[in-house]
């Protein structure tokens, strides 16, 4: 089956240059993420996982290499072009949910849609928001505010928000980090279901149990990307 | 706290690690506190402090006001005999003194400097309780009609012109050819009351009889140089004194002017004003505005410093939490706050006193002509006390603000929760209130200063209707002016003019008084209607209008052949022509001027003279052979000194003297000094309040932005563009802007309703324009204050904004 490449990373590196020392956070990273894929990147703390996810998410700039999203080179975009890509192609799910306290569940989910350059009609926004909240089973909490929800519910709202713009890929950063294990499992379950429905996911986690739920598993240690052994053997 | 030294040391150490905070607080507060204390000191002198003379509440000035048959004010000055009469015969006063203000050429000095002299009767020194540091003042037998020419020097004149020479009492000093024996030097502590707004400090006090008043016997000539000061009898008010003396003054005026048709139906009213009111003039409004302005600046500064204190408390939250966890009581935390506020406020108050001292020095050096009693100003007990009281108020306010920010119970718990989610936060309400206060105060200051600035700027820059560049006004006098005949004097002046014209740097010379300093009022009667007028008169030659580039609306100027004292032609300005003929031509109209019928041959454009109405009536006659005043036009990039002229006249006649030598540009500058000071000070205040408000708003918004960094980062991560984010932050704060400017508008409206005079003269399109400008400026400041703190979030990789956001 010939699937579209959603994300393509070629020779990406990241160097933090401080006064005293040069730190190589990422070294020659190469990844291809295909449509419908479920990728996990795990590894020890400080290994470069979040840095890599930030670069893929255009939240940070690589020191070298090339990044393509749906075949389009996004290595050197202006800030507004990058914002446009984040808005239309990428869906973020953060460890700490990053919901905006003053906005209701509905408005939080609608937020990325309000940034669209093509300017969606109110009915269209309404349709999308309702659909996404249904996907995460929270359509009955439209008017609640984040502080009225449990952690798991908040993360589900964040997932709905990430889905709102029909992104090419969901970028998930430690989705269970702020949740207890039961709620964490529920969220992971939801992600799995979304992937089963065709959503491409790239997840960073330090929890090997959750990393194992992905189909493609990478380990990132000291800035170097390694494909998990079993996958390698499968490939062989 | 038991170990208070340790706590003080800790606080000093902790503050010294924050030099920016210390500098910010001390500089901002010191400057604004200093400005406030200096104007407060000025206000104290103006409103509360009695004049430094015995029985000052009984001291008055008396003015002679001439009213025509219709009750219109025709002049506000004494006739010479009128003044002498009241001095000799009055029932209302315990003591009175005659004074004659003049500027006189000191002919005993080879440089012929012009000094401010005041001829006085001896009572003047009693009334002001003037003491001498050398010699004596005039005695009772050296008063009116004693004819002994004596002089008393001011302390400054003695120091500057006589090098503090102790043997000065053996010397004489000559003014206008009269030699005065020096009998005393006034004490340096003597404070001369500034009775007239345009009065310079007296350099030399002369005996009354030799004063240079003209027409000493004439009841039909009023002389602005004469001033009458008196001490009313106990129990007699100023009004009673005026009522008692006016009828006789009026009677004498009419008796002595009987048969002069011009004065038919006129009456004299004596205006008796308390000396204090006279000295203060109408500057109380200015000082009130200054106090309010400085107070508003202080309020902005306080709002700014509240911001700084809030940031400091947030920063110290963890330290305070540890203190609380280790057992510090709430009262002990309060002591820490009080101590820190004191350590900052004390140097700020001291710096404020230094600034106030400098401010008072500036007022004394530059503004003595503008601010009455500024020559008396001193940093006094009241200034120090107000600095102290303000300091205490500020210490209590700031420590209270800090204390209100922390919740002691939560603080103790904070240490256990590793800081997560327990960070100290300033409520949205406090933040908004701070922003609203700054916006409101800054709007009022910027609006008020812009109104004053615009008025003053317009006055300074309005077209004069003539060209004064390169023109110098030179006034000559003759030491024996009472004995020399006019034909002789005219010949000397014509010769002087011819010699000056030969100077290489001189382009041309014209006879006639400077249009900027000529305010002689002449009597003129319309022959046809018998209507009386008092226009400003000037005798000029045939080149006068050309030299000043004054254009003619109709008719012509004078011919050389008319400069003989015989001709009967006149030129009037448009303002006078309008009075005489309405919209018709004034050419050919006949006026009785100086007892001779004249016919109008020309009408010139109105000229704008600082201090006079733009359409004030003006009248010009051809001079008789010469004039004691000349206007010298110098060539471009050339200069001419007083000594160049002194050298010329010395070669012609050693008894000629240069009485005045001043460029018209300088005259204009001096007469508009008030406006120029207004321009500079309003610009400075406006700029300072803009900067302070900008910094203050930046402080609040910077804090808010830092607090919301994570949310803003999230918005960017979700695809918000830069412009969208800036607009979002701006919109969030727009309410504060609207409320702030609304409060400012409401306060201005209330101020207008309380005192309509405050703004009524400015109301019009321009006021709207200034309002729009103020709104736009404050909006721009608010926008910048929103944008600048956002820049790091917008310009750094987003990942930094999303880090440690919780």
- pLDDT for A5-22, tens place per residue? 899 999 999 998 877 778
* Dihedral, B513, B516, B517, B520 alpha carbons, nearest 10: 70
Does one domain contain both B559 and B584? yes
pLDDT on residue A10:
94
Q: Does B803 touch chain A (CB under 8 A)?
A: no
Kindly state the average pLDDT of the residues B688-700: 85
Q: Which residues of chain B have a CB within 8 Å of the CB of A112?
A: 718-719
Residue A98 lies in a domain: yes
Judgement on whether residues B573 and B647 belong to the same structural domain of the protein: yes
What is the structure's pLDDT at B53?
92
| ipTM score of complex | 0.89
Among B640, B670, B700, identify where a domain stops.
Answer: B670
**Is the dihedral angle over the CA atoms A170, A176, A179, A180 positive or is it negative?**
positive
Q: Is residue A145 part of a domain?
A: yes
Is A17 within the bounds of a domain?
no
Q: Indicate whether B223 and B252 sit together in one domain.
A: yes
Does residue B645 lie within any of the structural domains?
Answer: yes
Could you tell me if residue A190 is inside a domain? yes
The pLDDT score that the predictor gives to residue B119 is 95
pLDDT at residue B376, as a whole number = 83
**What is the domain range of residue B398?**
1-46+284-460+673-802
pLDDT confidence of B425, banded at 50, 70, 90? low
Nearest to B806 among A51, A84, A96 (CB): A96
Any domain includes B62: no
Q: How far is A41 from chain B (nearest CA, A)?
A: 18
- pLDDT value at residue B347: 93
Mean pLDDT of B71-82: 84
Q: Are the Cβ atoms of B718 and A100 closer than 8 angstroms?
A: no
Domain-embedded: residue A51: yes
Calpha distance B510→B15 (Å, rounded): 70
Chain mean pLDDT for chain B: 87
Cβ distance of B717 and A59 shorter than 8 Å: yes
What is the pTM (predicted TM-score) of this model? 0.75
Considering only CA atoms, which of B519, B507, B744, B692 is closest in space to residue B609? B519
pLDDT-derived band at B201, boundaries 50, 70, 90: confident
Alpha-carbon dihedral of residues A166, A167, A169, A172, nearest 10 degrees?
-90
* Cβ distance of A98 and B714 shorter than 8 Å: yes
Chain A closest-CA separation from residue B724 CA (Å): 8
Same domain, B179 and B318: no
Residue in A with minimal Cα distance to B806: A96
Is the Cβ pair A79, B722 closer than 8 Å?
yes
Rounded to a whole number, what is the distance in Å from the CA of A89 to chain B's nearest CA?
Answer: 10
| B711 vs A: CB within 8 A | yes
Give pLDDT tens digits for B712-749: 999 999 999 999 999 999 998 999 999 999 999 999 89
Taking only the tens place, the pLDDT of each residue in B321-354 is: 777 777 777 787 888 888 888 999 999 999 999 9
In a domain, B766, yes or no: yes
CA distances from B691 to A18, A217, B443, B687, B699 (A): 36, 57, 12, 6, 12
Dist. CA B415–CA B609, nearest whole Å: 74
Inside any domain, residue B83: yes
pLDDT given at position B1? 47
Q: Which of A61, A80, A92 lies nearest to residue B718, judging by beta carbons? A: A92
Co-location of B429 and B532 in the same domain: no
CA B744 and chain centroid, separation: 27
Instruction: Say if CB B89 and CB B624 are below 8 A apart.
Output: no
Domain boundary among B670, B699, B715: B670
pLDDT surpasses 80 at B803: no
Over range B591-602, report the average pLDDT: 92
d(CA A142, CA A110): 11
Same domain as B494, residue B399 = no
Close Cβ partners of B418 (under 8 Å, ≥ 6 residues apart): none
Of residues B138, B109, B134, the one with CA closest to residue B123: B138
B375 pLDDT band, cuts 50/70/90, is confident
Please tell me the least confidently modeled range out of B348-352, B481-485, B543-547: B481-485
Last residue of a domain, one of B670, B685, B705: B670
Q: Provide the pLDDT confidence category of residue B518 given band limits of 50, 70 and 90.
A: low
Question: Are B677 and B662 in the same domain?
Answer: no
What's A176's domain CATH number?
A: 3.40.50.300
d(CA B245, CA B272): 10
Tell me if chain A has a CB within 8 Å of the CB of B718: yes
pLDDT of residue A236: 41
Domain housing A202: 37-59+78-227
Interface of B with A in 773-802 (CB under 8 A): 794, 797-799, 802
- Which is more confidently placed, B368 or B300? B300
> Could you tell me which chain A residue has the CA closest to the CA of B796?
A60
The reply to whether B129 and B171 lie within a common domain is yes
Tens digits of residue pLDDT in A92-119: 998 888 898 889 999 999 999 988 888 7
**Sign, Cα dihedral of B600, B605, B610, B616:** positive
List Cβ neighbours of B646 (8 Å cut-off, separation of 6 or more).
B111, B112, B658
Residue spans of beta strands (DSSP E) within B480-595: 506-511, 524-526, 532-533, 536-540, 552-555, 569-573, 590-593
Enumerate the residues of chain B whose CB falls inside 8 A of the CB of residue A113.
Answer: none
Question: Does any domain span residue B380?
Answer: yes
| Integer Cα distance of B506 and B472 in angstroms | 10
Given a cut of 50, is residue B682 above it in pLDDT?
yes
Smallest Cβ distance to B717: which of A61, A80, A92?
A: A92
Mean pLDDT (chain A, rounded) = 88
Is residue A32, in this structure, part of any structural domain at all? no
Task: Determine the average pLDDT of the residues in B782-786.
Answer: 91
CB atoms A57 and B718 under 8 Å: no
**Whether residues B297 and B386 fall in one domain:** yes
- Residue A2 — very low, low, confident or very high, per pLDDT cuts 50/70/90? low
Assigned domain for B64 exists: no
B485 vs B401: CA distance, rounded Å: 81
Instruction: Give the whole-angstrom CA distance, residue B204 versus residue B193.
Output: 15
How many whole angstroms separate alpha carbon A136 and alpha carbon A183? 13
Q: Mind listing the pLDDT tens digit for each residue in A157-183?
A: 999 999 998 898 999 998 888 888 888
Does the residue A44 lie in any domain? Answer: yes
Alpha-carbon distance B617 to B571, whole Å? Answer: 11
Number of domains forming the structure of chain A: 1
Task: Among B718, B794, B798, select the one facing A87 at the smallest CB separation.
Answer: B718
- Asked if residue A82 is part of any domain, the answer here is yes
B364/B126: higher pLDDT = B126
Which residue among B715, B724, B797 sits closest to A60, beta carbon to beta carbon? B797
Distance in angstroms between the alpha carbons of the first and the last residue of chain B: 36
Query: Under a CB-based contact definition with an 8 Å cutoff, are residues B243 and B186 in contact?
Result: no
In a domain, B51, yes or no: no
Rounded Cα distance, B6 and A231, in Å: 66
**Do A153 and A126 contact (CB within 8 A), yes or no?**
no
DSSP string, B13-26: HHHHT-HHHHHHHH
Task: Note whether B805 contacts A88, CB cutoff 8 Å.
Answer: no
Domain count for chain B, please give it: 3
């Amino acid at each position: 089956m010939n699937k579209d490449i959603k994300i393509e990373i070629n020779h990406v590196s990241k160097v933090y240059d401080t006064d005293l020392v040069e730190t190589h956070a990422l070294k020659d990273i190469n990844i291809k993420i295909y449509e419908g894929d479920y990728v996990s990147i795990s590894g020890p703390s400080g290994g470069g996982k979040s840095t890599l996810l930030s670069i893929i998410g255009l939240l940070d700039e690589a020191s070298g290499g090339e990044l393509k999203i749906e075949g389009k080179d996004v290595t050197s975009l202006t800030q507004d072009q990058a914002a446009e890509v984040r808005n239309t192609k990428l869906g973020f799910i953060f460890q700490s949910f990053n919901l905006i306290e003053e906005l209701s569940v509905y408005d939080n989910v609608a937020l990325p849609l309000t940034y669209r350059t093509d300017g969606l009609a109110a009915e269209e926004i309404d349709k999308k928001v309702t659909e996404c909240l249904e996907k995460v089973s929270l359509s009955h909490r439209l008017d609640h505010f984040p502080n009225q929800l449990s952690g798991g519910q908040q993360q589900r709202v964040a997932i709905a928000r990430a889905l709102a713009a029909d992104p090419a890929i969901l970028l998930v950063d430690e989705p269970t980090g702020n949740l207890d294990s039961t709620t964490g499992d529920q969220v992971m379950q939801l992600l799995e279901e979304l992937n089963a429905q065709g959503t491409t996911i790239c997840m960073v986690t330090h929890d090997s149990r959750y990393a194992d739920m992905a189909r493609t598993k990478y380990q990132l240690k000291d800035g170097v990307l390694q494909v998990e052994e079993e996958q390698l053997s499968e490939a062989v | 706290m038991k170990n208070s030294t340790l706590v003080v040391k800790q606080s000093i150490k902790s503050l010294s690690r924050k030099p920016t905070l210390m500098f910010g607080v001390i500089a901002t507060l010191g400057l604004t506190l200093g400005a406030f204390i200096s104007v407060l000191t000025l206000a104290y002198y103006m409103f509360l402090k009695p004049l430094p003379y015995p029985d000052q509440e009984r001291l008055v000035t008396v003015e002679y006001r001439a009213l025509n048959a219709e009750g219109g004010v025709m002049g506000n000055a004494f006739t010479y005999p009128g003044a002498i009469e009241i001095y000799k015969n009055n029932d209302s006063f315990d003591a009175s003194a005659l004074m004659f203000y003049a500027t006189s050429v000191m002919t005993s000095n080879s440089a012929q400097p012009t000094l401010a002299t005041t001829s006085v009767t001896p009572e003047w020194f009693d009334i002001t309780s003037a003491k001498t540091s050398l010699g004596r003042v005039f005695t009772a037998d050296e008063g009116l009609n004693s004819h002994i020419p004596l002089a008393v020097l001011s302390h400054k004149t003695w120091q500057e012109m006589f090098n503090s020479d102790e043997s000065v009492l053996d010397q004489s000093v000559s003014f206008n050819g009269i030699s005065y024996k020096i009998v005393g030097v006034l004490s340096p502590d003597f404070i001369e009351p500034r009775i007239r707004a345009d009065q310079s400090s007296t350099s030399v006090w002369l005996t009354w009889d030799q004063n240079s008043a003209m027409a000493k016997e004439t009841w039909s000539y009023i002389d602005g140089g004469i001033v009458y000061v008196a001490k009313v009898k106990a129990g007699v008010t100023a009004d009673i004194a005026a009522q008692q003396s006016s009828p006789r003054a009026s009677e004498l005026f009419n008796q002595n002017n009987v048969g002069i048709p011009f004065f038919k139906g006129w009456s004299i009213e004596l205006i008796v004003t308390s000396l204090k009111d006279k000295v203060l003039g109408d500057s109380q409004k200015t000082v009130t505005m200054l106090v309010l302005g400085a107070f508003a600046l202080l309020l902005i500064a306080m709002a700014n410093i509240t911001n700084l204190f809030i940031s400091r408390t947030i920063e110290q939250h963890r330290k305070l939490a540890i203190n609380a966890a280790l057992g510090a009581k709430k009262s002990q935390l309060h002591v820490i706050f009080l101590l820190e506020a004191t350590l900052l406020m004390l140097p700020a108050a001291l710096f404020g006193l230094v600034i106030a001292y400098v401010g008072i020095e500036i007022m004394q050096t530059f503004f003595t002509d503008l601010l009455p009693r500024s020559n008396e100003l001193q940093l006094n007990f009241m200034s120090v006390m107000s600095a102290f009281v303000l300091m205490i108020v500020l210490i209590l306010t700031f420590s209270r603000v800090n204390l209100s920010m922390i919740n002691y119970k939560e603080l103790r718990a904070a240490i256990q929760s590793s800081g997560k989610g327990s960070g100290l936060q300033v409520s949205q309400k406090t933040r908004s209130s701070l922003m609203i206060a700054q916006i409101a105060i800054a709007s009022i200051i910027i609006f008020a200063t812009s109104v004053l600035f615009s008025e003053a700027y317009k006055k300074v820059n309005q077209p004069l209707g003539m060209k004064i560049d390169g023109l110098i006004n030179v006034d000559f006098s003759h030491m024996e002016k009472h004995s020399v005949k006019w034909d002789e004097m005219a010949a000397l002046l014509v010769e002087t003019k011819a010699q000056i014209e030969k100077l290489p740097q001189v382009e041309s010379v014209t006879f006639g008084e400077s249009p900027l300093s000529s305010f002689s009022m002449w009597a003129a009667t319309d022959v046809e209607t018998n209507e009386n007028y008092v226009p400003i008169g000037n005798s000029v030659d045939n080149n006068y209008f050309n030299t000043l580039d004054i254009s003619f609306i109709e008719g012509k100027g004078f011919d050389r052949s008319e400069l003989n004292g015989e001709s009967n032609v006149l030129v009037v300005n448009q303002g006078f022509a309008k009075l005489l003929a309405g919209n018709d031509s004034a050419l050919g109209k006949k006026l009785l001027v100086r007892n001779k019928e004249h016919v109008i041959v020309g009408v010139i454009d109105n000229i704008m003279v600082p201090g006079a109405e733009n359409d004030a009536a003006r009248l010009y006659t051809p001079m008789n052979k010469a004039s004691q005043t000349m206007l010298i036009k110098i060539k471009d990039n050339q200069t001419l000194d007083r000594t160049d002229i002194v050298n010329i006249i010395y070669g012609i006649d050693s008894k000629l003297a240069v009485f005045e030598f001043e460029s018209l540009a300088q005259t204009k500058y001096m007469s508009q000094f008030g406006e120029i000071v207004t321009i500079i000070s309003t610009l400075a205040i406006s700029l300072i309040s803009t900067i302070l408000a900008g910094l203050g708003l930046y402080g609040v918004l910077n804090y808010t932005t830092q607090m919301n960094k994570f949310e803003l980062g999230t918005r960017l991560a979700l695809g918000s563009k830069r412009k969208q984010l800036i607009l979002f932050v701006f919109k969030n704060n727009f309410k504060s802007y609207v409320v702030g400017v609304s409060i400012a508008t409401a306060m201005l409206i209330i101020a207008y309703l309380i005192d309509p005079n405050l703004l009524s003269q400015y109301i019009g399109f321009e006021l709207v324009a200034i309002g729009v400008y103020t709104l736009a400026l404050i909006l721009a400041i608010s926008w910048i204050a929103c944008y600048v703190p956002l820049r790091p979030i917008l310009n750094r990789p987003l990942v930094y904004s999303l880090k440690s956001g919780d």
